[in-house]
Protein backbone atom coordinates (compact mmCIF):
# COMPACT_ATOMS: atom_id res chain seq x y z
CA UNK A 1 0.00 0.00 0.00
CA UNK A 2 1.31 3.45 -0.83
CA UNK A 3 2.23 5.92 1.89
CA UNK A 4 -0.06 8.85 2.55
CA UNK A 5 1.23 12.42 2.30
CA UNK A 6 -0.63 15.53 3.43
CA UNK A 7 0.48 18.88 2.01
CA UNK A 8 -0.87 22.06 3.58
CA UNK A 9 -1.46 24.86 1.12
CA UNK A 10 -1.18 22.15 -1.50
CA UNK A 11 -3.60 23.53 -4.07
CA UNK A 12 -1.47 26.36 -5.48
CA UNK A 13 2.12 27.51 -5.91
CA UNK A 14 4.93 25.55 -4.31
CA UNK A 15 2.49 23.31 -2.42
CA UNK A 16 0.80 22.20 -5.64
CA UNK A 17 4.17 21.27 -7.15
CA UNK A 18 5.01 19.33 -3.96
CA UNK A 19 1.68 17.47 -4.05
CA UNK A 20 2.17 16.54 -7.72
CA UNK A 21 5.76 15.41 -7.20
CA UNK A 22 4.76 13.21 -4.25
CA UNK A 23 1.94 11.74 -6.32
CA UNK A 24 4.40 11.00 -9.15
CA UNK A 25 6.68 9.32 -6.58
CA UNK A 26 3.86 6.93 -5.65
CA UNK A 27 2.30 8.53 -2.58
CA UNK A 28 -1.42 8.89 -1.99
CA UNK A 29 -1.67 12.64 -1.57
CA UNK A 30 -4.10 14.97 0.19
CA UNK A 31 -3.84 18.72 -0.37
CA UNK A 32 -5.21 21.16 2.16
CA UNK A 33 -6.12 24.77 1.35
CA UNK A 34 -7.69 27.77 3.09
CA UNK A 35 -10.35 29.42 0.97
CA UNK A 36 -9.74 29.51 -2.78
CA UNK A 37 -12.31 26.86 -3.78
CA UNK A 38 -11.91 27.60 -7.49
CA UNK A 39 -8.15 26.94 -7.49
CA UNK A 40 -8.66 23.80 -5.40
CA UNK A 41 -11.37 22.40 -7.70
CA UNK A 42 -9.18 23.08 -10.76
CA UNK A 43 -6.23 21.40 -9.08
CA UNK A 44 -8.27 18.28 -8.24
CA UNK A 45 -9.67 18.16 -11.76
CA UNK A 46 -6.17 18.35 -13.29
CA UNK A 47 -4.39 15.98 -10.91
CA UNK A 48 -6.98 13.74 -9.26
CA UNK A 49 -5.50 14.80 -5.89
CA UNK A 50 -8.18 15.31 -3.26
CA UNK A 51 -8.34 18.74 -1.66
CA UNK A 52 -9.53 19.52 1.87
CA UNK A 53 -10.49 22.96 3.12
CA UNK A 54 -9.56 24.21 6.58
CA UNK A 55 -7.29 26.83 8.10
CA UNK A 56 -4.04 25.60 9.61
CA UNK A 57 -4.34 28.56 11.98
CA UNK A 58 -7.25 26.82 13.74
CA UNK A 59 -6.19 23.86 15.92
CA UNK A 60 -9.63 22.28 16.16
CA UNK A 61 -10.14 22.57 12.41
CA UNK A 62 -6.78 20.80 11.90
CA UNK A 63 -7.83 17.93 14.18
CA UNK A 64 -11.12 17.60 12.32
CA UNK A 65 -9.55 17.93 8.87
CA UNK A 66 -6.80 15.40 9.61
CA UNK A 67 -9.41 12.93 10.89
CA UNK A 68 -11.31 13.28 7.61
CA UNK A 69 -8.16 12.77 5.52
CA UNK A 70 -7.15 9.72 7.56
CA UNK A 71 -10.65 8.22 7.37
CA UNK A 72 -10.61 8.55 3.57
CA UNK A 73 -6.97 7.80 2.73
CA UNK A 74 -5.39 6.12 5.78
CA UNK A 75 -2.85 7.27 8.39
CA UNK A 76 -0.67 10.18 7.32
CA UNK A 77 2.99 9.16 6.96
CA UNK A 78 4.33 12.39 5.47
CA UNK A 79 3.29 15.86 6.56
CA UNK A 80 4.46 18.85 4.53
CA UNK A 81 3.81 22.10 6.38
CA UNK A 82 3.79 24.42 3.39
CA UNK A 83 0.84 26.79 3.97
CA UNK A 84 2.06 30.33 4.44
CA UNK A 85 1.06 33.94 4.04
CA UNK A 86 2.71 37.37 3.99
CA UNK A 87 1.38 40.56 5.57
CA UNK A 88 4.30 42.87 4.88
CA UNK A 89 4.85 46.29 6.41
CA UNK A 90 7.79 48.19 7.85
CA UNK A 91 7.73 47.54 11.58
CA UNK A 92 6.70 51.08 12.55
CA UNK A 93 3.58 50.59 10.43
CA UNK A 94 2.94 46.92 11.21
CA UNK A 95 -0.35 46.30 12.98
CA UNK A 96 -0.89 43.71 15.70
CA UNK A 97 -3.27 42.02 13.30
CA UNK A 98 -0.57 41.71 10.60
CA UNK A 99 1.79 40.26 13.19
CA UNK A 100 -0.78 37.84 14.58
CA UNK A 101 -2.11 36.56 11.24
CA UNK A 102 1.38 35.63 10.08
CA UNK A 103 2.30 34.01 13.40
CA UNK A 104 -1.00 32.09 13.50
CA UNK A 105 -0.57 30.65 9.99
CA UNK A 106 3.19 30.36 9.46
CA UNK A 107 4.27 29.29 12.96
CA UNK A 108 1.28 28.11 15.01
CA UNK A 109 -0.04 26.42 11.86
CA UNK A 110 2.99 24.15 11.92
CA UNK A 111 2.28 23.23 15.55
CA UNK A 112 -1.45 22.80 14.85
CA UNK A 113 -0.80 20.32 12.04
CA UNK A 114 2.12 18.42 13.52
CA UNK A 115 0.76 17.97 17.06
CA UNK A 116 -2.30 15.85 16.16
CA UNK A 117 -0.26 13.67 13.76
CA UNK A 118 2.74 13.17 16.04
CA UNK A 119 1.41 10.34 18.28
CA UNK A 120 0.39 8.21 15.27
CA UNK A 121 3.76 8.65 13.57
CA UNK A 122 5.56 7.68 16.80
CA UNK A 123 3.36 4.64 17.33
CA UNK A 124 3.87 3.41 13.76
CA UNK A 125 7.62 4.07 14.06
CA UNK A 126 7.69 6.02 10.84
CA UNK A 127 7.03 9.61 9.92
CA UNK A 128 8.30 12.52 7.90
CA UNK A 129 7.60 16.12 8.86
CA UNK A 130 8.88 18.64 6.32
CA UNK A 131 8.51 22.33 7.11
CA UNK A 132 8.69 24.93 4.36
CA UNK A 133 10.49 27.87 5.94
CA UNK A 134 12.11 30.65 3.89
CA UNK A 135 15.36 32.40 3.02
CA UNK A 136 13.87 35.35 4.89
CA UNK A 137 13.69 33.28 8.08
CA UNK A 138 17.44 32.78 7.73
CA UNK A 139 18.58 36.29 6.79
CA UNK A 140 15.66 38.57 7.79
CA UNK A 141 13.96 40.91 5.33
CA UNK A 142 12.97 44.58 5.48
CA UNK A 143 9.20 44.83 5.94
CA UNK A 144 8.88 41.24 7.13
CA UNK A 145 9.56 41.27 10.89
CA UNK A 146 6.47 39.06 11.30
CA UNK A 147 7.26 36.66 8.43
CA UNK A 148 10.99 36.41 9.23
CA UNK A 149 10.24 35.72 12.92
CA UNK A 150 7.69 33.01 12.10
CA UNK A 151 9.91 31.35 9.50
CA UNK A 152 12.93 31.42 11.85
CA UNK A 153 10.62 29.89 14.46
CA UNK A 154 9.86 27.05 12.06
CA UNK A 155 13.58 26.24 11.91
CA UNK A 156 13.86 26.18 15.72
CA UNK A 157 10.77 23.98 15.93
CA UNK A 158 12.33 21.62 13.35
CA UNK A 159 15.58 21.28 15.30
CA UNK A 160 13.86 20.65 18.64
CA UNK A 161 11.29 18.17 17.34
CA UNK A 162 13.88 16.26 15.31
CA UNK A 163 15.53 15.29 18.59
CA UNK A 164 12.23 13.98 19.97
CA UNK A 165 11.28 12.02 16.86
CA UNK A 166 14.61 10.41 16.03
CA UNK A 167 14.29 7.27 18.15
CA UNK A 168 10.74 6.72 16.92
CA UNK A 169 11.70 6.77 13.24
CA UNK A 170 10.21 10.19 12.66
CA UNK A 171 12.40 12.75 10.92
CA UNK A 172 11.75 16.47 10.96
CA UNK A 173 13.44 18.76 8.46
CA UNK A 174 13.05 22.22 7.02
CA UNK A 175 13.49 23.61 3.53
CA UNK A 176 14.30 27.26 3.00
CA UNK A 177 13.32 28.32 -0.52
CA UNK A 178 14.70 31.50 -2.01
CA UNK A 179 12.57 33.49 -4.42
CA UNK A 180 10.34 31.10 -6.35
CA UNK A 181 8.27 31.97 -9.42
CA UNK A 182 4.83 31.58 -7.87
CA UNK A 183 1.86 33.91 -8.42
CA UNK A 184 3.01 35.96 -5.42
CA UNK A 185 6.45 36.66 -6.84
CA UNK A 186 5.31 36.99 -10.46
CA UNK A 187 2.83 39.68 -9.34
CA UNK A 188 5.60 42.10 -8.41
CA UNK A 189 6.53 44.64 -11.13
CA UNK A 190 8.95 43.27 -13.72
CA UNK A 191 11.61 45.85 -12.79
CA UNK A 192 11.55 44.74 -9.16
CA UNK A 193 11.66 41.10 -10.25
CA UNK A 194 14.69 41.80 -12.44
CA UNK A 195 16.43 43.47 -9.50
CA UNK A 196 15.76 40.38 -7.37
CA UNK A 197 17.11 38.06 -10.07
CA UNK A 198 20.27 40.17 -10.25
CA UNK A 199 21.03 39.12 -6.64
CA UNK A 200 20.66 35.39 -7.36
CA UNK A 201 23.97 33.84 -8.49
CA UNK A 202 22.34 31.14 -10.67
CA UNK A 203 20.62 33.98 -12.54
CA UNK A 204 17.00 32.88 -12.27
CA UNK A 205 14.10 32.54 -9.87
CA UNK A 206 13.45 29.12 -8.40
CA UNK A 207 10.76 26.94 -9.90
CA UNK A 208 8.21 25.30 -7.55
CA UNK A 209 9.59 21.95 -8.79
CA UNK A 210 13.05 22.86 -7.41
CA UNK A 211 11.49 22.80 -3.94
CA UNK A 212 9.26 19.80 -4.63
CA UNK A 213 12.28 17.64 -5.48
CA UNK A 214 13.82 18.44 -2.07
CA UNK A 215 10.57 17.34 -0.40
CA UNK A 216 10.44 14.05 -2.30
CA UNK A 217 14.00 13.29 -1.21
CA UNK A 218 13.41 14.16 2.47
CA UNK A 219 10.23 12.05 2.47
CA UNK A 220 12.01 8.98 1.12
CA UNK A 221 13.54 6.06 3.02
CA UNK A 222 16.90 7.18 1.59
CA UNK A 223 16.73 10.29 3.79
CA UNK A 224 16.26 8.37 7.06
CA UNK A 225 19.60 9.57 8.46
CA UNK A 226 18.76 13.22 7.84
CA UNK A 227 16.85 14.94 10.62
CA UNK A 228 16.85 18.42 12.14
CA UNK A 229 18.46 19.78 9.00
CA UNK A 230 17.65 22.77 6.85
CA UNK A 231 17.98 22.45 3.10
CA UNK A 232 18.71 25.79 1.55
CA UNK A 233 17.36 26.04 -2.00
CA UNK A 234 17.94 29.61 -3.10
CA UNK A 235 20.21 29.65 -6.14
CA UNK A 236 23.12 30.79 -3.98
CA UNK A 237 21.41 34.04 -2.95
CA UNK A 238 22.17 33.60 0.74
CA UNK A 239 24.81 31.22 2.04
CA UNK A 240 24.32 29.93 5.59
N1 LIG B 1 7.08 31.94 -3.30
C2 LIG B 1 8.26 32.15 -2.77
O3 LIG B 1 9.13 32.79 -3.37
C4 LIG B 1 8.57 31.59 -1.40
C5 LIG B 1 9.88 31.75 -0.91
C6 LIG B 1 10.21 31.23 0.33
C7 LIG B 1 9.25 30.55 1.07
N8 LIG B 1 8.00 30.41 0.58
C9 LIG B 1 7.04 29.68 1.40
O10 LIG B 1 6.54 28.60 0.65
C11 LIG B 1 5.20 28.32 1.02
C12 LIG B 1 4.30 28.34 -0.21
O13 LIG B 1 4.39 29.63 -0.79
P14 LIG B 1 3.67 29.97 -2.21
O15 LIG B 1 4.39 31.14 -2.76
O16 LIG B 1 3.52 28.74 -2.99
O17 LIG B 1 2.25 30.48 -1.67
P18 LIG B 1 0.90 30.72 -2.48
O19 LIG B 1 1.10 30.56 -3.95
O20 LIG B 1 0.37 32.02 -1.96
O21 LIG B 1 -0.04 29.50 -1.97
C22 LIG B 1 -0.32 29.44 -0.62
C23 LIG B 1 -1.12 28.19 -0.32
O24 LIG B 1 -1.30 28.14 1.11
C25 LIG B 1 -2.69 28.09 1.37
N26 LIG B 1 -2.96 28.75 2.65
C27 LIG B 1 -2.77 30.04 3.00
N28 LIG B 1 -3.18 30.25 4.27
C29 LIG B 1 -3.64 29.05 4.71
C30 LIG B 1 -4.23 28.60 5.93
N31 LIG B 1 -4.42 29.43 6.97
N32 LIG B 1 -4.62 27.31 6.02
C33 LIG B 1 -4.46 26.45 4.99
N34 LIG B 1 -3.91 26.80 3.81
C35 LIG B 1 -3.51 28.09 3.68
C36 LIG B 1 -3.37 28.72 0.18
O37 LIG B 1 -4.72 28.31 0.11
P38 LIG B 1 -5.80 29.15 -0.77
O39 LIG B 1 -5.51 28.82 -2.20
O40 LIG B 1 -7.12 28.65 -0.31
O41 LIG B 1 -5.56 30.60 -0.47
C42 LIG B 1 -2.50 28.18 -0.95
O43 LIG B 1 -2.85 26.85 -1.24
C44 LIG B 1 4.82 29.37 2.07
O45 LIG B 1 5.02 28.85 3.36
C46 LIG B 1 5.81 30.49 1.80
O47 LIG B 1 6.03 31.26 2.94
C48 LIG B 1 7.63 30.91 -0.63
DSSP 145-174: HHHHHHHHHHHHHHHHHHHHHGGGTEEEEE
How much is the pLDDT for 1?
Answer: 80
Show which residues are catalytic: 147
Q: Give me ligand 1 centre to Cα 123, in Å.
A: 30
How much is the pLDDT for 61?
Answer: 98
What DSSP state is assigned to residue 34? S
Residue 211 CB partners (closer than 8 Å, separation 6+): 14, 17, 18, 132, 175, 177, 180, 233
Using alpha carbons, select from 153, 146, 112, 97 the residue that is nearest to residue 8.
112
Q: Is the CB of 39 under 6 A from ligand 1?
A: yes
Q: Is the CB of 183 under 6 A from ligand 1?
A: yes
Among 7, 8, 14, name the best residue to mutate to test ligand 1's pocket (greatest count of ligand atoms within 8 A of Cβ): 14
Q: Is the CB of 185 under 6 A from ligand 1?
A: yes
How much is the pLDDT for 188?
Answer: 84
Using alpha carbons, select from 14, 22, 52, 16 the residue that is nearest to residue 34.
52
Q: Is the CB of 177 under 6 A from ligand 1?
A: yes
State pTM to two decimals: 0.98
How much is the pLDDT for 72?
Answer: 98
- Indicate which atom in ligand 1 lies nearest the CA of residue 177: 6
Please state the length of the chain.
240
Q: Which domains does the chain have, with CATH numbers?
A: 4-233 (3.40.50.720)
**Residues of the chain whose pLDDT is less than 70?**
none
How much is the pLDDT for 183?
Answer: 86
Q: Is the CB of 55 under 6 A from ligand 1?
A: yes
Condensed to tens digits (0 to 9), the pLDDT of residues 174-228 reads: 999 999 999 878 888 899 899 999 999 999 999 999 999 999 999 999 999 999 9
How much is the pLDDT for 185?
Answer: 85
How much is the pLDDT for 208?
Answer: 98
Amino acid sequence: MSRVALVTGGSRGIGAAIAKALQAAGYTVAANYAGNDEAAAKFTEETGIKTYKWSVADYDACVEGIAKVEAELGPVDVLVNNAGITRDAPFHKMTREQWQQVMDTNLSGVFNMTHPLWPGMRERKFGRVINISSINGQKGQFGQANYSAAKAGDIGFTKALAQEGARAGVTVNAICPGYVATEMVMAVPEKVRESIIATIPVGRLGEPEDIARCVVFLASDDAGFITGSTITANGGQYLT
